[in-house]
Amino acid sequence: MASRVLDWRASPYIDTMDGDQIANLAFLGLLGAAIAGSYFVSNRGQLGKMTQQAMIWALIFIGVIAAFGMWGDIRNTVSPQQMMVGESEISVPLRSDGHYHLSLEVNDVPLEFLVDTGASEVVLTKADARAIGINPDELNYIGSAMTANGSVPVAQVYLDTVELGGIQDANLRALVNGGEMDKSLLGMSYLNGFERIEIRDGELVLSR
């Protein structure tokens, strides 16, 4: 049974710069140079108009390259992504909607789930079921589940493979929702497979 530990310890600060940090500083330098150079060129009245425009476009091009190189870090700052910590631990950031979302490969197809500790089962939308090779129109919806919108019909299925980084499960029981649902739910039938479920510095950390 998974344990739940509230841990507010801050991550240790490392006072050294790795290769990625040095590269990021270089990108920032390029971007700053492009902005400053563009301002300088646009105010140089003695330059010919064609030369001035050519230099402006060259600086814009450098700026775009710098911004593209930094996109991964910009994306992680604006919309943080889940991250594997070692071989058996994953850190999941809190999204702006106040929920944790987790991406898994189900039957070798990437799916995004809403982590729901109040749900007892993994519940798939019809669209996600179809994406992993299950035809929702051919299922027998003989069960039912309670949701915020009331009772909905559900059908039992088994997922051949569920993979999260290096963590793999096989033949996992799940339900397909016969009603309308915005996103598939990752319930306790999957989460209970982890030894620890922690909230650490506002992030959901799963350890196995």
pLDDT at 155 (0 to 100): 96
Put simply, whether the predicted model's pTM sits higher than 0.85 gets the answer no
pLDDT at 54 (0 to 100): 63
Instruction: State the Cα angle at 23 between 18 and 27, rounded to 5°.
Output: 150
CA pair distance 196, 205, nearest whole angstrom: 8
pLDDT at 118 (0 to 100): 86
pLDDT at 178 (0 to 100): 92
Contact 188, 119 (CB under 8 A): yes
Q: What is the mean pLDDT of residues 138-157?
A: 85
Q: Enumerate the domain spans of the chain.
A: 19-77, 83-207
What's the farthest any 2 CA atoms get from each other in the chain? 80
Q: Which amino acid is at 88?
A: S
pLDDT at 199 (0 to 100): 86
* Domain 83-207 belongs in CATH node 2.60.120.1090: no
Strand 109-115, strand 184-186: pairing: parallel
For residue range 82-96, list pLDDT tens digits in order. 776 777 788 888 888
CA pair distance 55, 161, nearest whole angstrom: 54
